[in-house]
Chain A
């Protein structure tokens, strides 16, 4: 069965510091991987997605993620965090038709001034 694990429930980083949010998945076929962000009072917004090809994918807001099949990971990174990045981040894995998505429990990011 497919599943997603986000090991870190809460992360605090200083503004300007680098960020890496971890995501591990379990999926029997070729995974389609996503990162979503939810800011307070907002819906989930897609940051980036991976289907195939280059394992390093670029997303919006300066985020990137790297797919590592050998480690079943899809970690999200950002070189320099901004205060506006404070939010909750969700990793998800889905099938080719995106109709069977599984989400992780989320990682809440706090940004210190």
Chain B
């Protein structure tokens, strides 16, 4: 079974440009999460999809960030326009919708975004 995959692994863009990150969750996982880790800081929650619906987007920093999940499969996170403070590692995770109890989230390797 393939794990969570993310593309690209590393992106370097200039301030003001647009970048789109992609996440492919584990097949059959309805929950999809985006997180971000700014260098040396904690991993912070950005948002949570259940299938194609945004369940919780309370962690999105501002309206320069747009997340979508087409058809409840893969998800994209677009940053437009990018600012220097957007640099960091963006993680995606997925989990099954369980019957209760904390379901394990499976993480992708992350996309390292560098804004110069």
List the B side residues contacting A103 at CB < 8 Å.
35, 42-44
Q: How many residues from A make CB contacts under 8 Å with B?
A: 28
What interface size band does chain B fall in? 20 to 34
Asked if residues A105 and B107 are in contact (CB atoms below 8 Å), the reply is: no
Among the listed A41, A49, A90, A98, which residue makes an inter-chain contact with B43, where contact means beta carbons less than 8 Å apart? A90
A46 at the interface (CB under 8 A from B): yes
Q: How far is the CA of A24 from the CA of B101 in the complex (A)?
A: 22
Asked if residues B109 and A99 are in contact (CB atoms below 8 Å), the reply is: no
Residues of A within 8 A of B (CB): 4, 9, 32, 34, 36, 41-46, 49, 51, 90, 92, 94-106
Residues of B within 8 A of A (CB): 3-4, 31, 33, 35, 40-45, 48, 55-56, 91, 93, 95, 100-110
